[in-house]
Amino acid sequence: MINISKAFEPLAAPASIADLSITVGPAFSPKIKVKPGMLDKLEFIERADIRDDDPLLLSLIPVKEFLEFTNQTKIHWSEETEDILFGKPYAEVVSGGLFKRIIYRFKGYKLVYSEEIERYIPIAEVHRPKIKGCKSTFCLSSKDSSDYSFSVKVFGFGGGFETSTELGRTVKITADTSCLYYCVPVKFRIQVYSDNIRSFQRVELIEILDGHEVIPIPVRDDKCEMSPDKVKALGFLARNFRHENASGPFTEEIFLNVGSKAEWDWGLKLNLPVMGEVNEGIKGSVEALKTISYSYDLSGMHNYTAYNAQNSLSFYWDWNPKAA
């Protein structure tokens, strides 16, 4: 899981990045697909008047989704949540009227705030060894409007719906100094519900906008230069490269196959009426729909290690001088 601790700021031009080289071709994005969130499902249960013992409820709202919702909203259904956490079968709790009680409790909540905001979210990273002369290049190509590069999924927060879409991109990004995020602009809907005592926010992605941005990765979020022991402890996959000739750089290529996936956790910083400042962890995933190519120019007589997590589309780098 990639945890980006710095919340992404509102859409704006990033700081000047003189060391970047980026070439961009056509960008294609179809309609967004939506999967109902917890609040939508509760509304459906009420309208359809589904019985407490109907097996449909167990597949409609799995136990993991219920517990995640209670954690995100901070509204703990004390008896029900504790029963489940202490081992009472979920089916038994549900058949005992769990969702009808939740729906009844929500009757006192009203929508008190709604806003649409735009942010950048990263869908890829480009990393390089922090040595003069080393650079990394990330390449993708899309031929037409049906030739997609990525499948992107963003999970709702606080009962919001899940959003997914496919993106087509023709892009070449070269990082000469900083490691980089490749980002796309998106639009979120933020809503606050309150019963005058407690409040919670619902967040969902409603649109992926045209364009892109390349943003330097903050040092605190850069996973390059980990110690070999930490790389091993985290279960990262490592590849070693040796440069025997000091006369000039050499080039290595690494490819990620179709179907490779990354999981993300984005920090979304908000200042909301009633609730004040909050920083929500919006989760999502990216899947490669075609082969991703990374090219690395490596310099000097050094030993290099590229490593990546199994749930990542990025390669991080460590290095040390070649032993005499």
pLDDT in tens, 271-306: 776 667 777 778 889 998 888 889 999 887 788 999
- The percent of residues above 90 in pLDDT, for the chain, comes to 25
Please tell me the distance from the alpha carbon of residue 86 to that of residue 177, in angstroms, as a whole number: 51
Q: What is the mean pLDDT of residues 43-67?
A: 92
Strand order in the sheet with 237-242: 237-242, 302-308, 316-321
DSSP summary character for residue 8: P
> Scanning the structure block, which residue is given the tokens 């009808």?
100
Mean local confidence (pLDDT), 32-56: 91
Confidence grade of residue 9 (pLDDT, cut at 50, 70, 90): very low
**Is residue 69, in this structure, part of any structural domain at all?**
no
Q: Which of the pair, 244 or 21, is modelled with greater confidence?
A: 244
Q: Which of 51-65, 117-131, 225-239, 241-255 is the least confident region?
A: 241-255
Spatial distance between the Cα atoms of 237 and 38, rounded to a whole number of angstroms: 36
Instruction: Tell me what pLDDT residue 54 has.
Output: 94
pLDDT of residue 322: 58
Residue 286 within a domain? yes
β-bridge mates for residue 237, sequence order = 308
Q: How far apart are CA 105 and CA 19, in angstroms?
A: 55
CA-based nearest residue to 123, from 178, 177, 173: 173
pLDDT value of position 196: 84
29 pLDDT higher than 60: no
Question: Closest Cα to residue 125, out of 317, 314, 294?
Answer: 314
Q: Residues 103-112: what's their mean pLDDT?
A: 86
Say if CB 307 and CB 318 are below 8 A apart: yes
Distance CA 2, CA 226 (A): 15
Distance CA 121, CA 10 (A): 11
Is 117 inside a domain boundary? Answer: no
Local confidence band at 318 (pLDDT 50, 70, 90 cut-offs): very high
Evaluate if residue 324 carries a pLDDT over 50. Answer: no
Q: How big is the CA angle at 308 (ends 306 and 309), to the nearest 5 degrees?
A: 165
Confidence of residue 23 (pLDDT cuts 50, 70, 90): very low
Segment 213-242 shows an average pLDDT of 91
Domain presence at residue 106? no
In a domain, 66, yes or no: no
- Mean per-residue pLDDT, 73-81: 71
127 phi/psi in degrees, rounded to 5: -115, 155
Which position has the token pair 């992107």?
152
**Residue range(s) defining the domain that contains residue 262:** 2-35+123-180+216-321
- 3-class DSSP state for residue 102? helix
pLDDT recorded at residue 77: 60
Residue 235: helix, strand or coil by DSSP?
A: coil
**For position 28, what pLDDT does the model report?**
43
The candidate with the shortest Cα–Cα distance to 73, out of 98, 105, 117, is: 105
> What per-residue confidence (pLDDT) applies to 8?
35
| Domain-embedded: residue 44 | no
Number of domains comprising the chain = 1
pTM, to two decimals? 0.76
Cross-strand bridge partners of residue 184:
121
Task: Tell me what the mean pLDDT of segment 88-101 comes to.
Answer: 90
And the tokens for 256?
């990620």
Please report where in the chains the tokens 């650079």 appear, as a residue.
135
Mean pLDDT of 55-71: 91
What count of residues does the chain have? Answer: 324
Please determine, for residue 27, whether its predicted confidence score (pLDDT) is greater than 70.
Answer: no
pLDDT of residue 94: 92
Q: Measure the CA angle with vertex 105, ends 104 and 111; round to 5°.
A: 105
Going by the DSSP 8-state scheme, the letter that residue 157 receives in this structure is: B
CA distance linking residue 313 with residue 254, whole number of Å: 11
Q: Is it the case that residue 76 has pLDDT exceeding 70? A: no
Mean pLDDT of the chain, nearest integer: 81
pLDDT over 80 (residue 115)? yes
Answer whether residue 114 is part of any domain: no
Q: Distance from CA of residue 321 to its chain's centroid?
A: 35
List CB contacts of 82: < 8 A, sequence separation 6 or more.
Answer: none
pLDDT band at 15 (very low <50, low <70, confident <90, very high): very low
Has residue 194 been placed in a domain?
no
